[in-house]
Amino acid sequence: MLHHELPDAIDLSHHLSKVARARVISPLKELQKYLGRSDIISLAGGLPHPDLFPVDELSANVYSQDAFPTEIPPTKPSLVSWITRLFSGRDQNKWDKLKVPRYPKQSGDINLATLLQYGLSTGSPQLQEFIKEFTSRVYKPAYGNWSILVHAGNTDGWMKAVMTLCDPGDVILTCEWTYPSAVATAHPLGIKPIPVPIDGEGMRSDALFEILSTWDEVERGAKRPRVMYTVPVGQNPTGATMHAQRKKEIYKNCVQFDVIIVEDDPYYFLQEGPYVPRKDRPVYAKANMNNEGFLTSLVPSYLSLDYQGRVVRLDTFSKTIAPGCRLGWFTCNPLFAERFERQGETSTQAPCGFGQAVVASLLMNWKFDGYVRWLQGLRAQYRERRNFCLDCFGDFFELEARSTASTAIYDGYIKTKPIQPSNKWTEEFVHREKRFPVFSFVPPTSGMFVWLQINFRDHSSFGRLGHKNLERRLMKEFAEAGVLIGPGFFFDPNMLDDANDEGPGHFRLSFSNEDFAVLRKAIGIMATVLEAFFYGGDRL
Amino acid sequence: MLHHELPDAIDLSHHLSKVARARVISPLKELQKYLGRSDIISLAGGLPHPDLFPVDELSANVYSQDAFPTEIPPTKPSLVSWITRLFSGRDQNKWDKLKVPRYPKQSGDINLATLLQYGLSTGSPQLQEFIKEFTSRVYKPAYGNWSILVHAGNTDGWMKAVMTLCDPGDVILTCEWTYPSAVATAHPLGIKPIPVPIDGEGMRSDALFEILSTWDEVERGAKRPRVMYTVPVGQNPTGATMHAQRKKEIYKNCVQFDVIIVEDDPYYFLQEGPYVPRKDRPVYAKANMNNEGFLTSLVPSYLSLDYQGRVVRLDTFSKTIAPGCRLGWFTCNPLFAERFERQGETSTQAPCGFGQAVVASLLMNWKFDGYVRWLQGLRAQYRERRNFCLDCFGDFFELEARSTASTAIYDGYIKTKPIQPSNKWTEEFVHREKRFPVFSFVPPTSGMFVWLQINFRDHSSFGRLGHKNLERRLMKEFAEAGVLIGPGFFFDPNMLDDANDEGPGHFRLSFSNEDFAVLRKAIGIMATVLEAFFYGGDRL
């Protein structure tokens, strides 16, 4: 085992919150640990008899691991072909039937008598075993005694991390734009965000160093941050993905300033790769990638750099199986894992047994290789969606690419239109007093989101209304035209505390959920709304 | 509707904790409320496409509502007959098959596309509707604008109640003996229990009045308690059940002193009724009770007395369907419900979709009347278990009943034995220096537990070792003989803070889980251990 060659986690117990320190082992649960012994009769727990559970057998029709192809061949750029090809690779015959009986046929079988019973908050042993193998082989933690522990999804995991690591009055490091629920979890507990500037790869390591090295406790009114919240892949909301080098720089800063990194990574397997505009995409299908090639193609997790045990990684099945699983896991040092387990005992207990039954039997059916194969298929589906979405922007706007040192940025202009509607382009365009990009974006290489920066500075009412007012008005105009998009202020970490007008304005658009034709329709509506908003005269 | 005739809840907003007051509406969730509108295209949420969920259909074989009889006819008192009759009423043909498809066939159908998606933390509309009807018809709240809200089981519900109602430094009222996880939830948050003396019906209203009316903030070092934690039916651990009159007295105290009652009531439908020793039980089967008769036979919930909205009732499917559901609900005033919902958004989110799918389709299949019928069958099964367990005590010990004003108490003596083993009783008994009850109990009329008070005062080492040491040693002797039982100190609300030696000692024994033959064997082992413990000489 590689583990034995790696160092153990260093002592990070000084990071535990007062609440976490005050937790004791639930005495009834302690007793429950004896329950597995075959020579003991237990009259200790208040457990119903499993014969009285009304569910005798649970079964599920599920996709096979290879229900979706790993690469989708390119097609001509017609909408019809997109729609007809939608999920074209899915073979309707590729089904498996899972069955979970009330009682196991042989020892180790997944069964309802156990999963629907009160259980340890560590969850089903079969699921634990799978997760342990998966974490070891995919994320390759750089220390020896890492632990895994199930939770009820990353929102639950983050809440447990906050309560275990932070005291009221503490501050946490976040990206300049961040997932609002993460802030909403910490805020009522008296814990405030410190936004760190970002670029196309997410959090900037130089900006982080600046904040940590110049921290003035008196001026800031809080101790130097000890905890960082980060979504390093397909960041929410910006879609940015951080590569190994940047992660190394940030990890080094965190070692120097003793910061715990909470890596919330739901989009890790949706690494779609660089966007190539439709006209430049190769017309041949790529060769199928094998599992090893797929895993090697993914940016490394912070875990793979973590030789000290200061990363709390949050994984979830929400994007890889379904959000309704409410099931995920921590990977972290054993001290934190034990405190999370204690917290679980007095809140969520074990994750739902029905969910565990389906997920565990699905994973045991697929096995490690099958699940990785499934993730490949999923990545290809999201790549197709990302491509389609950005292609639609190309169709409805004039997109111009420019590059910074590391990333391409696309500027979107309102399309020039022929004066006379015509089937072919003419040289006679609508006259515009001023041509300027109405938005710009970095094409996401992972995840579900496009983060549009809106160029309100060129709006005729900018001087009077400013960024935030224009953002709110544009949100309303989109909604009235029938399209709901998340406005940038939702993702401002300090939204809850102040209402400054610092720009620029943004919208987060998700390409993950709507059907392709609807997505295309929505982007068309956006083009109409944006044209009227910027060129329709001062109606605001 | 009766609701309209009832008053609304009074303003109880002064009970909200600082944390609860600081919660804001999660802005993304706010947007999500528009998602139901058919005329809106949403690109706002980070939702996977439901075609990508690997589960296409979930199905379950479930018992019919009448799989268990409502009354089980009495039998001769032989073990064999008990075992062969075990679940004798269950008709193996009484099955239903539930199916939950990916997409609904018609509007309102339970479906995986919705339940496995991100959803509002209020849970599935079908489940909400059922719960609302059930709460209204079964518990009959005495005010008009009560709300229901799903949670992930009563442990989760209680944790949310503590965080919503209590600040660090607060104290909460509990029973003198209480569910240890409830204390373990509050304790790390700096919230300590104030134990209230009990009798055979649970919390004493006179003792509660005494504590509240004489509360000295300075002497106690805390403000007068504002929150009570109570398990009023089949109390954990004592098994005590509180009737309407006592509840009225306690509710009146709570109105007078402005206390919020958190009614944790998992055993409500396991109201087995008074215990009649086997020899005195009627030999004829009772007539089947109809649903209305069953509901009328149950003690009222605090909700039925709650004209102010100061009761937070916690219901769970853990004992009526299965603990692994991790699903239950609050019934409370709308102000508290809204705060619980906000808390759910940043922790558990919605309960697991697989669990909701099974439970909601089971309940929609059974409907209100079917579920109540199922609960009747369940009550009969637990009554049988309770009877069997107490009968075993009668077989292995000499039980003598005595009565206090309201409740029967049984004293258990070590059985006298003939000097010569014989098939029939003789007049020649083993000589005992001293005959005394080694334990006593109030026969539970509800729930899963027998609470044995152990008479350590008559133990020869009592002077030297005291209650707590003897209790721990007896726990060890039981365990070494192969029987695990919960020792009384587990249920001491102040266990986490001190280690006083106040007696008497206790054990909580559960009759809910083990097979009948095993339960009988365990009580036989207890008799052997107790005899050696009390009469085996000073071996400790």
**Is A31's CB within 8 Å of B484's CB?**
yes
- Tell me the pLDDT tens digit for each residue of B456-472: 999 999 999 999 999 98
Does the distance separating the beta carbons of B326 and A352 come in below 8 Å?
yes
Helix (H) or strand (E) holding B418: none
Position with higher pLDDT, B92 vs B441: B441
* DSSP conformational letter for A15: G
The CA distance from B517 to B509, in Å, is: 16
Instruction: List, as ranges, residues 212-241 from B with C-beta within 8 Å of A.
Output: 236
A116 CB near a chain B CB, below 8 Å? yes
| Dist CA B103 CA B32 (whole Å) | 20
CB distance B41 to A514 below 8 Å: yes
Give the pLDDT confidence of B191-217 residue by residue, as tens digits. Answer: 999 999 999 999 999 999 999 999 999
Mean pLDDT of B13-26: 91
Per-residue pLDDT tens over the stretch B389-437: 999 999 999 999 998 766 789 999 999 875 555 555 544 455 566 899 9
Cβ contacts of B23 on chain A, cutoff 8 Å: 184, 187-188
- Short-list A215, A143, A153, A141, CA closest to A181: A153
pLDDT at B29 > cutoff 80: no
The series of mean pLDDT values per 10 residues for chain A, 540 residues long, is 77 97 72 68 92 96 93 63 51 81 92 92 93 98 98 97 98 96 95 96 97 97 98 97 98 98 98 93 77 96 98 98 97 97 92 97 96 97 97 96 84 80 50 84 97 96 92 91 92 75 89 96 97 83
pLDDT confidence of residue A426: 47
Out of B322, B345, B485, the one facing A44 most closely (by C-beta) is B485
Are β-strands B397-403 and B328-332 bridged in parallel, bridged antiparallel, or unpaired?
A: unpaired
Contacts of A522 in chain B (CB under 8 A): 41, 43
Dihedral angle, C-alpha B41, B43, B47, B48, nearest 10 °? 90
Q: Which amino acid is at A138?
A: V
Tokens of B249: 């007295």
Nearest CA in chain B to A325: B352
Q: What pLDDT, on a 0 to 100 scale, did the predictor assign at position A427?
A: 47
Cβ–Cβ below 8 Å for A512 and B351:
no
Sign of the alpha-carbon torsion through A384, A475, A454, A471: negative
Which site among B347, B441, B476, B485 would you substitute to test the A interface, given the most A Cβ atoms closer than 10 Å to its Cβ?
B347
Q: In A, which residues are within 8 Å of B46 by CB distance?
A: 236, 448-449, 510, 512-513
DSSP code at position B429: B
Question: Nearest Cβ partner of B55 from A42, A62, A187?
Answer: A62
Is A408 in the B-facing interface, judged by CB distances under 8 Å? Answer: no
B482 to chain A, any CB pair closer than 8 A? The answer is yes
For position A287, what pLDDT does the model report? 72
Which amino acid, residue B366?
A: W
Q: Is A26 on the interface with B (CB under 8 A)?
A: yes
How many CB atoms are located within 10 Å of the residue B87 CB? 15
Percent of chain B with pLDDT over 90: 77
Residues of B in contact with A508 (CB under 8 A): 44
Minimum distance, in Å, between the CA of residue A484 and any CA atom of chain B: 5
pLDDT tens figures, A99-133: 999 999 998 899 999 999 998 788 899 999 999 99
The radius of gyration of chain A's CA atoms, rounded to the nearest angstrom, is: 25
* Helix A353-396 and helix A516-535, axial crossing angle in degrees, nearest 10: 50
From its phi and psi, is residue B537 left (phi > 0), alpha (psi between -120 and 50) or beta?
left
Nearest to A340 by CA among A171, A188, A151, A133: A151
Q: What is the pLDDT of residue B121?
A: 82
Query: Partners of B505 in the beta sheet?
Result: B454
> Cα separations (Å) of A539 from A437, A477, A534?
20, 12, 10
Among chain B residues, CA nearest to A319: B48
Candidates A33, A34, A37, A41, partner chain B, best to mutate (most B CBs within 10 A) = A41
Closest CA relative to residue B401, chosen from B392, B411, B393, B387 = B411
Residue environment code for B280-292, b if the CB has 16+ CB neighbours within 10 A, otherwise e: eeeeeeeeebebe
Q: Are B480 and B532 in contact (CB under 8 A)?
A: no
Q: What percent of chain B clears pLDDT 70, i.e. is strictly above it?
A: 89
Q: Which of B513, B528, B529 best tests the A interface by mutation, with the highest count of A CBs <10 A?
A: B513
Q: What is the ipTM of this complex?
A: 0.93
Instruction: Indicate the residue of A46, A184, A345 with minimum beta-carbon distance to B512.
Output: A46
- Alpha-carbon distance of A38 to A32, in angstroms, equals 13
Q: Would you say B449 and B238 are in contact if contact means Cβ atoms under 8 Å apart?
A: yes
Nearest by CB to B54, from A55, A319, A374: name it.
A374
Residue B178 CA to residue B157 CA, distance in Å, equals 17
Query: What is the pLDDT, as a whole number, of residue A432?
Result: 63
Q: Is A484 on the interface with B (CB under 8 A)?
A: yes
- Picking from B19, B99, B159, B346 by the largest number of A CB atoms within 10 A of its own CB, the best residue to mutate is B346
- Partner A contacted by B327 (CB < 8 A): yes
pLDDT at B501: 72
Nearest CA in chain A to B510: A43
Nearest to B24 among A27, A60, A184 (CB): A184
Q: Which B-chain residues 159-188 have CB contacts (< 8 A) with chain A?
A: 159, 180-181, 184-185, 187-188
Whether B358 sits inside 8 A of A55 (CB atoms) is: yes
pLDDT of residue A1: 44
Question: Using a CB-CB distance cutoff of 8 angstroms, which residues of chain A are in contact with residue B514?
Answer: 41-43, 49
Residue A35, chain B, CB below 8 Å: the answer is yes
Tell me the nearest-neighbour CA distance from A42 into chain B, angstroms: 5
Q: Are A80 and A86 in contact (CB under 8 A)?
A: no
Q: Quick one: pLDDT at residue A316?
A: 98
> Residue A197, CB half-sphere, CA atoms under 13 Å: how many?
8
Q: Do A55 and B490 touch (CB under 8 A)?
A: no
Q: What is the distance between the alpha carbons of residues A430 and A420, in angstroms, rounded to a whole number?
A: 9
The H or E element spanning position A100 is: strand A95-101
Alpha helices by DSSP H, listed for A33-91, are 79-85
Question: What count of other Cβ atoms lies within 10 Å of the Cβ of residue A411?
Answer: 18
Arithmetic mean of pLDDT over chain B: 90
- Note whether A24 contacts B: Cβ–Cβ < 8 A: yes
Q: What is the number of other CB atoms lying within 10 angstroms of the CB of residue A424?
A: 5
Q: Domains along chain B?
A: 1-8+15-43+125-272+302-351 (3.40.640.10), 384-535 (3.90.1150.10)
CB of A248 within 8 Å of any CB in chain B? no
Residues of B in contact with A322 (CB under 8 A): 48, 50, 53-55, 112, 116-117, 353
> Among residues B33, B63, B31, which one has the least CA distance to residue B321?
B63
